[in-house]
Amino acid sequence: MLLGLGGGIAAYKLCEVASTLAQRDISVRPLFTAAAQRFITPLTLATLCRHRAYTDEDFWQASQGRPLHIELGEWADLLVIAPLTANTLGKLVYGMADNLLTNTVLASTCPVLVAPAMNTDMWEQVSVQRNWRQLGQDPRFHGLDPGAGRLACDRVGTGRMVEPAVLIAAIDALLMTGGRRDLAGKQILISTGSTREYWDPVRFIGNPASGKMGVALALAARFRGAQVTLVHGPMAAADLAPLNQVQLVPVASAAEMEAALINALPLADWVIMAAAIADVKPRHQATEKLPKAALPEALPLAPVPDIAARLSQLKTPQQKLIGFAAQTGDILAPAQAKLVHKGLDAIVANPIDQPQGGFGSEMNQAMILMPGRPPVPLPLVPKWQLAHQIYDVVLNHFIGTHLGPSPFG
């Protein structure tokens, strides 16, 4: 991977990115613009990447063999440009090449991930917004919208480059797929996390689902070209942080999740039910916290409606509904029963009693069941990787993979 640094204070964030990728044994070569060297030294990135850093001085020196920008462009599987400045953005849009970075872009054919960072007034200029939209029409380019907050210039507004976790998640996705957009044009609705069924303002029935699998599915779909809506139960902010250009709908109870999913269903092509939704709820809910002495010895329960089965009744024949089944012991028989009973187009069965897997873990494994096909086993891998494998399987089953550009922004 080529890591191209633009001239901006946000360049310091690339230190964490470079270090994380190097520890994963991903070969990273840093490439500096002249302005980037005023914010962070090539020595810093060269040390973190375990590889020399390239600058414009290398570009303009007499070549000892093939031109440097040709060698780098042909070598790269992915090119990342961060922070992307307004100046470099304009050059990319118009195919201009006056330094090593922009020449390497033109000499390469790999996907390019860009993460802008600039002052709010600069970002909101008509010309900059026009360039950003136009770059999004090029299928090679994958963009991460800047966030809002207090900037280095003390301005509060949009222009902050995404955090390292967001960049790393995007890099993972693009290295996994090679930048293909085989979900372009699809609207994908995903549920994730747990639900909470309160029986007084501070006590609830719940489960330990973290929502990380649903986040991984949302990120994978977004970088494969889909428009994604994620309906999620209560989750840690850090787990939601990598999501960029994904519509988030927070809920707490199963009833709220059902309402949100039904509301979003008409626009969805696929619905993926990765949430761990409660099966029962307290029959009565107190409006004030019950004192310990007043707690009942037995808690009357009422069933929670089966949301997946309800969505199966409401969806059109063109819409696809994918369920999840977290199981212990035999995972196939219960998943097969749910596949038929709920009217699903596919179901992903997860063993939650295996080492390194289960709720809250970074890893997962699965069996995918689809009507009329033998189960497809997926081995234990990081959840972001499993998400892409799930899409590979269901794309092949539903429609066959297809390529197509999808604008970002």
Report all structural domains of the chain as residue ranges with CATH numbers, in order of start. 2-177 (3.40.50.1950), 187-398 (3.40.50.10300)
Residue 44 contacts by C-beta under 8 Å, 6 or more apart in sequence? 15
Which two three-digit tokens encode residue 242? 């990598």
Region of residue 50 (left: phi > 0; alpha: psi -120 to 50; beta: else): left
Q: Tell me whether residue 153 is one of the annotated catalytic residues.
A: yes
Which of 15, 49, 110, 153 is flagged as catalytic?
153
The residue type found at 365 is Q
Q: How many residues does the chain have?
A: 409
At residue 407, the pLDDT reads: 34
CA distance 158 to 123: 7
Beta bridge partners of 366: 378
Give pLDDT, residue 401. 42
Pairwise CA distance, residues 246 & 243, whole Å: 6
Alpha helices per DSSP H over 50-196: 56-60, 68-75, 86-94, 100-106, 120-123, 126-135, 164-177
Residue type, 312: S
Query: What is the per-residue pLDDT across 9-50, written as a single tens digit (0 to 9) for each?
Result: 999 999 999 999 999 999 999 999 999 999 999 999 999 999
Please give the distance of CA 312 from its chain centroid, rounded to a whole number.
26
Q: How many CB atoms lie within 10 A of CB 284?
A: 11
Instruction: Give all strands of the β-sheet with 187-192 in edge-to-edge order.
Output: 247-250, 227-232, 187-192, 270-273, 320-327, 346-351, 363-369, 376-382
Can you give the pLDDT of all 409 residues of the chain as single tens digits?
Answer: 999 999 999 999 999 999 999 999 999 999 999 999 999 999 999 999 999 999 999 998 866 678 999 999 999 999 999 999 999 999 999 999 999 999 999 999 999 999 999 999 999 999 999 999 999 999 999 999 998 888 888 889 899 999 998 899 899 999 989 999 999 999 999 999 999 999 999 999 999 899 999 999 999 999 999 999 999 999 988 889 888 889 999 999 999 999 999 999 999 999 999 999 999 999 999 999 999 888 888 899 999 999 999 999 999 999 999 999 988 888 899 999 999 999 999 999 998 887 777 777 888 999 999 998 999 999 999 999 999 999 999 998 886 543 333 333 3
pLDDT score, position 63: 65
By the 10 Å C-beta count (0-12 exposed, 13-18 middle, 19+ buried), 198 is classed as middle
Q: Which of 274, 115, 278, 137 is nearest to 198 (CA)?
A: 278
Q: Output the 3-class SS for 255-299.
A: HHHHHHHHHHHHHCCEEEECCECCCEEECCCCCCCCCHHHCCCCC
Confirm if 51 and 28 have CB atoms less than 8 A apart: yes
CB neighbours (10 Å) of residue 46? Answer: 17
Strand order in the sheet with 141-143: 29-32, 2-5, 79-84, 112-116, 141-143
DSSP state of 9: G
Return d(Cα 200, Cα 101) in angstroms, integer: 59
Q: Name the pTM for this structure.
A: 0.86
In the structure, how many helices (H) and strands (E) does the chain have? Answer: 15, 19
Q: Can you give the pLDDT at residue 98?
A: 95
d(CA 86, CA 319): 41
Give the pairing type, strands 301-303 and 280-282. Answer: antiparallel
Q: Give the pLDDT confidence score for residue 328 in this predicted structure.
A: 86
pLDDT score for 197: 94
